[in-house]
Amino acid sequence: MGATKHYKSTLERAKKIRELTQRYYEPGNNQRCYKAVWRKYVYPVYPMCYHTYLTYLGIPTEKTRPTAIELCLFDFFDKSPRL
């Protein structure tokens, strides 16, 4: 599955939904599972189906910047003498 571009409003909504989920989700507790969190806290504020909720949880909201190592990964090959 390729990376898709998301609108800014979708990213903000996904971030808010992820914050709600982190606040109320407890692994191993069926009273606080993803479906219960969606039904009790997310759906009243952001009406969407459960599948869309799970999709929003999978959207990366923070863009990762390349590190210095990633930026200079191939500099070694550029500076080496050509054969």
Residue 1 lies in a domain: no
Residue 48 lies in a domain: yes
C-alpha neighbours within 13 Å on the C-beta side of residue 41 = 17
Query: Would you say 11 and 47 are in contact if contact means Cβ atoms under 8 Å apart?
Result: no
User: What digits encode the pLDDT tens for the residues 44-76?
Assistant: 999 999 999 999 999 887 766 656 666 665 665
Residue 3 lies in a domain: no
Residue 59 lies in a domain: yes
Residue 26 lies in a domain: yes
Residue 34 lies in a domain: yes
Quote the domain boundaries for residue 40.
8-79
Residue 43 lies in a domain: yes
Domain count for the chain, please give it.
1
Residue 61 lies in a domain: yes
User: What digits encode the pLDDT tens for the residues 4-41?
Assistant: 788 899 999 999 999 999 999 999 999 999 999 999 99
